[in-house]
Amino acid sequence: MYSYRNPKEPNRRQTPDYRLGLVRDVLTNLHRGECVAVVGVGSCGKSRLLLHLTRPDTMEYHLGNSAYNHFIVLVECNSFIDQTNWAAYEAMARAIDELLRNANHRTLNEMAEALEPMYGMVSGDRDLAFKHLLTGINYLLKNTGLKLTICFDEFDFVFEKFDAQLFRNLRALRNQNKYQLSYLVATRRQMPHQRPQTQQEEVEEFYELFTSNTYGIGPYETRDAQQMVSDLEERYEFRLKKVTRDMLIDVTGGHPGTLGAAFRVLVDTQQQPTTPDQMGQLLVRNPTLWKECDKIWDSLREAEHDALRRLALNKAPTREDPAPLQELKAKGLIKPVGDRGSLVVFSPVMTEFVRSKV
């Protein structure tokens, strides 16, 4: 297996089976040459997921030997130099240049010298930046048969604000390298809701790439939530009783942001509740947790706010609710309970927070 030293890689890394089902679905579709979008509310772990996906050992775990000829490069949209289309091309060229410099892979090493000028040409010539980027990527893929996924983190602002020509160019780049070049985007809102409705048609050819492969990033499954708590226990040197750990996961619903905030409350107060009443009194209306709930709330559209409020207050849904409820379910913010599949908010903390928004 090849290796790749990612300078952004944190010291603490997830096990290869982290978010097992979601990661497998995403990587399988990317390897087929499809474009994929992952949608999740604030603090749900989007950036952590994307870093996990870029790791060669993650790809090998899910794709086997097929991973050897597929690379995912991470482009952090919040690191763009400015708000011009050129800034997007510069960031993409920088990510590919970083891959060429850091990957221990024979084919890439052979291409590195020929592609070395690409980043300088893209960054130094704003008027012809896309042409230089297009030439470089075409040269890389058509001469090697490799697969490349360009992964955009924090993509909402770019899709909302940037000129439509950027997305037409990205679609053209994809069309010239279909099934070898794919895109993975992480957003808080499902495309195309970031743009005003009057501007959605002009970017339709780009966002339609993702309509068949859009996945919600929900709270952690029990295994991943338990692993997160174990990591927190080690980092803060604060071991929880089993009953406290189980209730902590339950009251936060396993959402990474609220789970981390709740654990820090236990550390700060040096408390280990052993009954649901004790845990509820300590956490349900805690300001630290509600800051995390605010991040979730701010990630939602007004239609989702309305549907979530009605659900938290046990009110009957309206005829406008099915679509936003489906989106909330995909993001893991509501879940079915009981034999009849009644829906509830994913955690007691978030339920109380939503009720406070009436």
Domain of residue 115, CATH code:
3.40.50.300
For the chain, the domain total comes to 3
| Whether the predicted pLDDT of 3 surpasses 80 | no
How does pLDDT run across 135-147, given as a tens digit for each residue? 999 999 999 999 9
For residue 88, which amino acid is it?
A
Single-letter residue type at 213: N
Are residues 240 and 210 both part of a single domain? no
Q: Which residues contact 307 (CB under 8 A, 6 or more apart)?
A: 317, 320, 321, 324, 325, 328
**CB-based contact 345:278 (threshold 8 Å):** no
pLDDT at site 119: 98
Tell me, yes or no, whether 93 and 232 share the same domain.
no
Last residue of one domain, picked from the residues 192, 216, 240? 216
Of the candidates 82, 165, 81, the one whose C-alpha atom is nearest the C-alpha of residue 130 is: 165
Q: Are residues 245 and 325 in the same domain?
A: no
Binned at pLDDT 50, 70 and 90, residue 11 comes out as low
pLDDT at residue 4, as a whole number: 59
316 & 169 share domain: no
Selected residue with higher pLDDT from 42 and 148? 148
Residues 22 and 42 grouped into a single domain: yes
Q: Which residues contact 22 (CB under 8 A, 6 or more apart)?
A: 38, 49, 215, 217
Contacts of 319 (CB under 8 A, 6+ apart): none
pLDDT of residue 344 exceeding 80, the answer is yes
177 and 74 belong to one structural domain: yes
Do residue 44 and residue 100 come from a single domain? yes
Query: Residue 134 is encoded by which pair of tokens?
Result: 């297009």
- Based on the fold, state whether residues 105 and 238 are members of the same structural domain: no
In 10 A of CB 230, how many CB atoms?
13
Same domain for 260 and 331, yes or no, is no
Query: Cα-Cα-Cα-Cα dihedral of 278, 280, 286, 291, to 10°?
Result: 140
Domain shared by 181 and 232, yes or no: no
> CA distances (Å), 226 to each of 5, 244, 246, 324, in order?
28, 12, 8, 30
Q: Examine the pLDDT at 259 and tell me if it is beyond 80.
A: yes
Q: Are residues 24 and 113 in the same domain?
A: yes
The pLDDT of residue 358 = 78
The answer to whether residues 178 and 285 belong to one domain is no
Instruction: Supply the range of the domain harboring residue 303.
Output: 298-355
Report whether pLDDT(10) > 60.
no
